[in-house]
Amino acid sequence: MKLKYIILLILFSCQKYGNTQIDTLALKSIEGITDKMLALISGDINEKRNWDEYRNLFLPTAQKISIRVSKDGTVKTRTMNLEEFIRYVGPLYSRDGFEEYKIGLTINEFNGIANVFQSYYCKNLIGTYEKRGVNSYQLVQMDNRWWIASTLFTTESDSHKLPNELLFSEYQSK
């Protein structure tokens, strides 16, 4: 009888772990996981986002940091953990609709860590926000997949244009 309870306990533990680990092909490659992040935040107005799948891209201690440079050159940062990001920024994606896609990609990888510069174009679908910029991902490979350890992102400005070397050829200025 004791063995039966132990087996049931092990099965329930494995089932719980399996539900939190959504193992998709996207998690197996650097480009796959960074593309998946953009796909999960993008969607139509009033479209619900899959925040559980979004959480599964990140280490539990991951931070999302936005960098803003004002016209006078003052740098401001805002740091959020995943739950803060989902709580504060997530509703805007659904309410206004949001689209973000990559327009450039630079990957540096060594021994299970990677840094990615992903140039992006984004906009909300109500026409009040449109930007280009760079997402910087810090990634770690473990448990046979990639995890996002943190992201930093900043937008292009009149004084800081995206350089051609960070853009795919079709987005480069001539």
CB 77 within 8 A of CB 67: yes
- Locate 59 and state its tokens: 């280490």
The CA-based diameter of the chain, rounded to the nearest angstrom, is: 75
Read off the pLDDT band of 174 (50, 70, 90). confident
CA dihedral of 63, 43, 88, 140, whole degrees rounded to 10: -10
Residue 141's pLDDT is 98
Read off the pLDDT band of 17 (50, 70, 90). very low
| Mean pLDDT computed over 30-41 | 97
pLDDT for residue 123 is more than 50: yes
Report which DSSP code applies to 161: P
Cβ–Cβ contacts within 10 Å for residue 119, how many? 21
CA atoms within 13 A on the CB side of 156: 18
CB 124 within 8 A of CB 97: yes
pLDDT above 90 as % of the chain: 79
Spatial distance between the Cα atoms of 69 and 94, rounded to a whole number of angstroms: 26
- Locate 75 and state its tokens: 């740098």
Measured CA distances, 117 to 39, 102, 107, 154, 164 (Å): 17, 10, 7, 11, 13
Structure-token match 């995890």, residue found: 147
Class of domain 26-171: alpha beta
Spatial distance between the Cα atoms of 151 and 164, rounded to a whole number of angstroms: 22
Give pTM, 2 decimals: 0.84
pLDDT for residue 5 is more than 90: no
